[in-house]
Structure 1
Amino acid sequence: MNGDHPEDNLLIARAFGRPGATASTMVGLNEEAGIWRVTDADGEQDLAVAWPSGPISERPEIRREVVVLYKTACERLGVTPREEHKPAAEHSHGTPLPQDGAADSEAEDKAFSKVIRETSWSDHSDSEGAGFMDDIMHGRASRQDYIDLVAQHFFMYEALEVAAEQLTADPAFADFHPAALVRKSALESDLAYLIGDDWRERISAVPATEAYATRIREIAAENWLPGIVAHHYTRYLGDLSGGQMIAKLVAKQHDLADAGIEFYNFTELGSIPAFKNTYRAGLDRLGVSMDDAERKRFLEEVRIAYGFNTAVFVDLSRQKATA
């Protein structure tokens, strides 16, 4: 990609978190994301952009995912994509559109975990790119900013893990929530280290976090398992993916070893990639168990969850500005 269309790298960097980028080169990748080395006014730093369709395992998938990133970047930045990457209906040679029902058939055959990822990907990217998190990811955030984030996590997971607890006896929920995944005690330890023993009296939820926790409690009161999984998915799989990068950045910037970042320590879970595969298989089974209406509702709930996450970051930015 660096040799064929180097300008594509710059578009991707600008669209996915580094709007002021002046140079960008793809320097690596893994099953979860592509890695770009980006230069802007803050200097040179690496930018990880998650693959739109979820984890990849085969070389041909790389080009497919990069093309999707490029087209999404063009859309976000208002740039016309190159001819070979325009939608079929826009090509000058008039490539025929799929026959009626072809798209529906393809969606039906696709694993539900991939459908979730593709449906919510733009929401996920928006959440990652929110200003408050952008500061944390690029080393501009203070130690207090990080503490404020940990505090909001506490209120989120307090509600989410109460909701999860009521489903522990349900076999359909077993693969999603092993004991090693529970985060509340780790958050309590982190807050005690970062703030002190009186941390509980010194933290408060921003309005968006309160609304987020309320939504989780409403879903739990309904006893709607897929709805709880929707919120569970957006939080825990994020912690196991981008969250691991956040932990490394925060640890380096604020000189933290284990204490203060226990929230991101999933050692007891075993292999993170293996667990994520188990989790996605559970999502696939859940998708099969639901009818079309419930699948649609589930996908909407995932997007709602991402919306709450973004709103929390916005509130934290406002709180910081008025402090």
Structure 2
Amino acid sequence: MNGDHSDDNLLIARAFGRPGATASTMVGVTSEGGVWSVTDAEGTSDLEVAWPGGSISERPEIRREVVKLYRTACERLGVPAREEHAPAEGDAKGPHGGGAHGGAAHGSHAHHGADHEPEGEKQFSKVIRESSWSDHSDSEGATFMEDIMRGHGTREDYIDLVAQHYFMYVALEAAAARVLADPAYAAFHPAALVRLPALEEDLEHLIGADWRDRISPVPATEAYVARIDEVAAEGWAAGVIAHHYTRYLGDLSGGQMIAKRVAKQHELDRAGIAFYDFTELGSIPEFKAAYREALDALGPELDEAERERMLDEVRTAYHFNTAVFVDLGKRKREHASASA
């Protein structure tokens, strides 16, 4: 939502109680509804909107309910819905219409929409995004990360996250330099995308000159790094891109919102959040569009088995990220218990 459909967040906020909203970001989900951080003339505060179809229990259901909120918002505001989310013929409108529980139009993320585009003909970037949607939601929903995104995390929580990023990017950028040096992959990894110098700058500012001696990876980060190293050692370019896509496109999307939240909460300027500063990259939307074009060009070069293997690796990357957040939560609880 925050990366590819940011305008939808604003429509939902304006239609569900905040008509003067000027900015809206989705910051959380529960079984009962979605949570948006909304800015209007009165300031910034959270807006909770109940799921139209009632309580949910499975993460794939989140998308179905968000689509229904978007459609209802469009109806209330008199805005035409995008074709992919327009009601199918015979599908009742409104939050309690006939499509409320995932009928033919909404039962599958990969096959809904008016064009009924066959899977094999879809742009590869779209196939990747759709096939990993629920995995992405799992990652965002991890409690540790959700606390940071909603401004409830401590400064130490943020420092712990930056430290894990450091270990991840040591492996990821070594893998990218090793496998993506081929000019055919130049669009994926320009020099301005490199994050390690910024991470080192952030850690020195947040911890001190001895930061290298004071950080350690959680077990999930160690496993994540080992997997990236394994993929790179194999020389599997599509696998490296799977991890590359998962991390960098996230940094360029939801990561920008995290930076704003953390900067405001902990009074940080560029120092401390340099990791999220992509000024040298130029226009973020333009780069993301070029990145997806590169993915679309890559897809036809891979046979069906290789495409499926790459999609599986994208899901694996998301699962590693979720596991890192879970481990960070465990570490936080252990430290709190030890100091009690």
Residue 167 of structure 1 and its aligned partner are, at CA, apart by: 2.7
Question: How far apart are the structure 1 equivalents of 2:184 and 2:319?
Answer: 26
Q: Contact 1:209 / 1:308 at 8 angstroms: preserved in 2?
A: yes
- Provide Cα deviations, 1:128-164, integer angstroms capped at 9, x if missing partner: 1110011001111100000000000000000000000
Are the counterparts in 2 of residues 163 and 216 from structure 1 also a CA contact under 8 Å?
yes
User: What do residues 246-289 of structure 1 show as CA deviations (whole Å, max 9, x unaligned)?
Assistant: 00000000000010000000000001111001100010111110
Size of the aligned set, in residue pairs, is: 275
User: 1:50-106: CA deviations, max 9, x gaps?
Assistant: 998xxxxxx755474598xxxxxxxxxxxx974234444699xxxxxx9xxx97x61
Question: How do residues 71-150 of structure 1 correspond to structure 2 at under 5 angstroms?
Answer: 82-88=97-103, 106-150=118-162
The answer for unaligned runs of 5 or more in structure 1 is 8-14, 29-35, 41-48, 53-58, 68-79, 92-97
Q: 8 Å contact 1:164–1:228 — kept in the other structure? A: yes
CA-to-partner distance for each residue in 1:7-43, whole Å, 9 max, x for gaps?
Answer: 9xxxxxxx97242878978979xxxxxxx95149xxx
CA–CA distance in structure 1, aligned partners of residues 86 and 159 of structure 2 = 35
CA distance in 2, matches of 1:247, 1:66: 34
**Alignment match, 2:207:** 195
1:231 maps to 243
Q: Distance in 1 between matches of 2:301 and 2:251?
A: 26
Q: Are 2:228 and 1:216 aligned?
A: yes
Structure 1 residue 108: Cα displacement: 1.4
Match of 2:168 in 1: 156
Aligned twin of 1:244? 256
Q: 1:38 aligns with which of 21, 33, 47?
A: 47
Cα distance in structure 2, aligned partners of 1:172 and 1:232: 15
Matches of 1:27 and 1:143, distance apart in 2: 23
- Over 3 Å counting, the alpha-carbon distance change for 1:142 and 1:65 in structure 2 is farther
Does structure 2 conserve the Cα–Cα contact (< 8 Å) formed by 1:187 and 1:262? yes
Per the alignment, do residues 130 and 63 of structure 1 end up closer, same or farther by CA in structure 2, a change over 3 Å counting? Answer: farther
Q: Give the conservation status (yes or no) of the 8 Å contact 1:6–1:25.
A: no
User: Which residue is 1:267 aligned to?
Assistant: 279
Q: 1:63 to 1:139 in 2, by over 3 A?
A: farther
Residue identity in the other structure for 1:170:
D
User: What is the alpha-carbon distance in structure 1 between the residues aligned to residue 12 and residue 268 of structure 2?
Assistant: 36
**Counterparts of 1:318 and 1:23, CA distance in 2:** 25
User: Is 2:270 the counterpart of 1:255?
Assistant: no
Q: 1:174 aligns with which of 165, 186, 204?
A: 186
Instruction: Report deviation, 1:221.
Output: 0.4
Q: 1:203 Cα deviation (Å)?
A: 0.2
Aligned-residue RMSD, C-alpha: 3.6
Describe the SS at the equivalent of 1:17: strand
Gaps of 5+ in 2: 1-10, 18-25, 40-44, 50-61, 68-78, 88-94, 336-340
1:312 partnered with 2:321: no
> 1:172-225 CA deviation, whole Å, 9 max, x = no partner?
211000000000010000000000000001000000000000000000000000
Matches within 5 A, 1:7-18: 17-18=28-29
Q: What SS does the aligned partner of 2:99 have?
A: helix
Hey, what does 1:19 align to over in structure 2?
30
- Answer yes or no: is the 8 Å Cα contact 1:130–1:310 preserved in 2: yes
More helix by share: 1
TM-score by length of structure 1 reads 0.76
Q: Which one-letter code corresponds to 1:165 in the other structure?
A: A
Report the Cα offset of residue 308 of structure 1. Answer: 0.1
Tell me, what secondary structure is at the counterpart of 2:118? helix
